[in-house]
Structure 1
Amino acid sequence: MTKSSPVMPFTEPQRAAAQRFITHAFTDTARLWLEHGWDAAGGHSIERLQAANLTPVLVGYRRSMAVARQLFFFSQAWRITGDERCAARAHALYADLTGRFWDHQHDGWFFSLRTGADAHAPADPRKDTYGHAFAIFALAEYGAVFGKPAAIDWARRTLEIVKRRLLLPQGWLAQSASRDWRALDMVLEQNPHMHMLEGLLALHGATRDAAVLQEAGMPVMLFMQRLRSDDGTKVLEHFDAAGRPNGESGRIVEPGHSYEWVGLLRDYAMARGEAEYRAITAPMVAWADAHGFDPQHGGIHDQLDTEGRVISDRKRIWPLTECIKVQAMRATDTAEPAAYAALDRRIAFLTRHYLTPGGGWREFLRRDLTPDSDYLPATTPYHIATAALKVAEAYGLAGRAHAKVTV
């Protein structure tokens, strides 16, 4: 008697659409930035490109965060495709980040450097938690992909600086500080803590160091105690120095960040070996789905208020990629055909309205889904890639495993 093949929860057309998205992310977008996103004379990445002709937009600066996101992107592009040009770009980005953005006088990463005649001098010398979080994230990912212990050392060094210089007595991280760390911003901001959790999860994934996972408990506890609404349905953005929602800005809700927290909390729970996370995250997904999506035109609004009213009806690409990540995780965890069907619909919407031939994309859409931007930021391939990685996992299309880095 022959053994029957297992029934798959997805169809071949769905799997093919997922593969096209992954190819767009790691082959087409990588090629676009390999060919147009590097200043050969200056030896550094370009902050943004004109969408029409892929020429550099001269903004006069380049951010450490943008370099870090590109470092992550090209590390993963090499892992998925094996294209040695992606490896070479990742190594060059690593050299640029560690060789130019570190403040050797006061420690920490400069927010931005100048371009042009005064290239590589600090443009904005502040030290921000958001940028340091992405440095930890990218250095950990690069170190894991290529087996580079020195990159892991940089990530650990960054974490120690954050704990020593940016941790406030109130229990949260300062949003930013002066170059010499004397002037600290005391308010509580959601977004830097979310990305600090992302960075710590990446560092734990690279090292399996239990102490790093314990550090990740800080932003998770802060989320549970302060960053979500009292009813647990939404993530708030801006708080004052006492940790209270900060006036009108304290009523802002970004559905994309709700999806992003859902994904990170799921990964945190899995790293800790805890199966139960849906009880916490399900109300957040339900609220974001119910209020964030535009029922008339489709797509996700950038900003709402706590009552679900639209504040900004522009539709940037990244909230949709975060939604795709959550749907891909749901498909992976449940293996339900309905979850894969919903994931397929999200990918189809992204492909139809945002992605453009040759590895490009539309950064913003208006409410009616017409394009509303003319540039491509170097930071967005990170968003597209993180979604594509979760989609690859859901369909069993992931690339080679990370290299092992000894703790």
Structure 2
Amino acid sequence: MKTFLKDTFFPFWLKHGVDELGGFQERLKLDLTPYREENKKRVLVQFRQSFVFARAYQLTNDSSYADAARRGLQFAFESYWDSDKGGFLHALDIHLKPLISNRNLYDHAFALFAMAHIYDVFKNEEGEEHLEILSWINKVSTYIDEKFKCDRGYYEYLDANNLALTNPREQNPHMHLLEGYLALYEFVGDQTYLDKASELVTLFCTYMQEPKLGGVVEFFSSDWSTYDEKLGDKIEPGHCFEWAWLLMEFSRLSNRSDVIQAAKKAYEFGVRFGYDQAFGGYFNEVNRLGEVSNEKKRIWPETEAIKAHVSMYKNTGNISYKEMAQRDLDFLLKNRLNENGSWKEHLSRELEDQTDVHPSTTAYHLLMAFLEFEKNS
């Protein structure tokens, strides 16, 4: 796995993922040239890819990756942060002008996640770079508390004036905010971040998990009391695995065993109803009863399943979970990854390639799975 990361994965992203316009490419065409048709550069991509290159530097000691991580982070700070009203703009156009000025909780969650990892990588380097990162962590965390925080959880979206937008409540941004806070607690060490993580875990256990079968529901009413009328029957097995892994991580960092049962229920739902016994891989969507509603298969649920299998193995010592992780990794290597370093983003149920573009955000999912498997195999 280390050989693949050093010889194929990281060089691919350094060659094709860096954008001459600034920051990182949003998407790649199948011929690996930039996909510009959307005329959009999201701040999310800048943070996810900065994380990838920082960890690449840590694993290889190649300064070109460190330079890419630093440039990407600085590009995000300079080009997306609203110095007057605070917050990161959601997207620029390809001329680096504001395109979507709304603030998304999802974006800010990944800002915290990326900065936590980058701080961990560069904290022992010469100079005071790590102090600047700590300053930005405090700035972004404070902004989230002041603008996104509400009575139950956080607003998912704000407009350009930091006013909350009315939408169904969503588990996904809260899930990644938990990921960001856990990374901050682990790498920065401030108890405040673990306390914030604990609040999100309570929100999950109270509202987000369907109580009978344990699936993670995507959309809710404004007060979380009911599932959203139009979208509340949607469950993504990949998110069940992500929550299972995060809850296990929370348990590890907090020494709280009371969340393990919720983690296992989410995990078991994903395996029972998400895995395709006939062809392998995981369905994109099922409903609350576990009935398949979208039988196509994106790549990221497979990476999240690998992480969850590993967590279950670490927690129980049951070798069957390790075997499932190996099975899914073998499936990924056989059916997803191409020799030139690209990948098959979309497959039909029968594993026919339906990829149209390569989203750069996939790199985060792949690297997280590879790192988790490698350090626990």
TM over 0.5: same fold? yes
User: Structure 1: any 5+ residue segments left out of the alignment?
Assistant: 1-18, 396-407
Residues of 2 paired with 1:370 and 1:327: CA distance? 25
**Equivalence map 1:48-87=2 (5 Å):** 48-51=27-30, 53-58=31-36, 59-87=38-66
The residue type equivalent to 1:34 in the other structure is L
In structure 1, the residue matched to 2:309 is 327
The structure 2 residue matched to 1:39, chosen from 5, 15, 19, is 19
The structure 1 residue matched to 2:4, chosen from 1, 17, 24, is 24
Whether 2:326 is the aligned partner of 1:344: answer yes
Residues of 2 paired with 1:172 and 1:338: CA distance? 36
In structure 1, the residue matched to 2:97 is 121
Q: Is the 8 A contact 2:245 2:308 kept in 1?
A: yes
Larger RCO of the pair (alpha carbons < 8 Å, separation 6+): 1
Whether 2:370 is the aligned partner of 1:388: answer yes
Whether 2:184 is the aligned partner of 1:203: answer yes
In structure 2, the residue matched to 1:15 is none
Give 1:206 shift.
1.7
Deviation per CA, 1:267-323: give whole Å up to 9, x if none: 111111234543222222222111101122111000001111111111000001000
The residue type equivalent to 2:22 in the other structure is G
Residues of 2 paired with 1:124 and 1:211: CA distance? 31
The structure 2 residue matched to 1:182, chosen from 163, 166, 172, is 163
Give 1:32 shift.
1.1
Q: 1:200 to 1:162 in 2, by over 3 A?
A: same
In structure 1, the residue matched to 2:71 is 92
User: Which piece of structure 1 moves more, 358-367 or 377-386?
Assistant: 358-367
In structure 2, the residue matched to 1:191 is 172
Whether 2:244 is the aligned partner of 1:262: answer yes
**Equivalence map 1:287-298=2 (5 Å):** 287-298=269-280
Give 1:50 shift.
1.2
The residue type equivalent to 2:189 in the other structure is R
Q: Is the 8 A contact 2:106 2:173 kept in 1?
A: yes
Residues of 2 paired with 1:277 and 1:392: CA distance? 25
In structure 1, the residue matched to 2:127 is none
Residues of 1 paired with 2:79 and 2:6: CA distance? 27
Instruction: Kindly tell me the number of residue pairs found equivalent between the two proteins.
Output: 369
The structure 2 residue matched to 1:274, chosen from 253, 256, 259, is 256
Give 1:196 shift.
0.3
TM-score, scaled to structure 2: 0.94
Residues of 2 paired with 1:371 and 1:335: CA distance? 36
In structure 2, the residue matched to 1:238 is 219
Q: Is the 8 A contact 1:76 1:145 kept in 2?
A: yes
In structure 1, the residue matched to 2:81 is 102
Residues of 1 paired with 2:375 and 2:6: CA distance? 14
Residues of 1 paired with 2:213 and 2:146: CA distance? 31
In structure 2, the residue matched to 1:283 is 265
Give 1:95 shift.
1.1
Give 1:333 shift.
3.7
Residues of 1 paired with 2:167 and 2:276: CA distance? 36
Residues of 1 paired with 2:281 and 2:312: CA distance? 19
In structure 1, the residue matched to 2:205 is 224
The residue type equivalent to 2:104 in the other structure is D
**Structure number with larger C-alpha Rg:** 1
Q: Is the 8 A contact 2:19 2:25 kept in 1?
A: yes
Give 1:262 shift.
0.5
Counterpart of 1:327 in 2: which secondary structure? Answer: helix
The residue type equivalent to 1:328 in the other structure is V
Q: Is the 8 A contact 1:303 1:312 kept in 2?
A: yes
The residue type equivalent to 2:179 in the other structure is E
Q: Is the 8 A contact 2:23 2:76 kept in 1?
A: no
Q: 1:222 to 1:26 in 2, by over 3 A?
A: farther
Give 1:331 shift.
3.0
Deviation per CA, 1:55-99: give whole Å up to 9, x if none: 001121110111110011111111122222111110111111111
Counterpart of 1:360 in 2: which secondary structure? Answer: coil
User: Structure 2: any 5+ residue segments left out of the alignment?
Assistant: 124-129
The residue type equivalent to 2:4 in the other structure is H
The residue type equivalent to 1:254 in the other structure is E
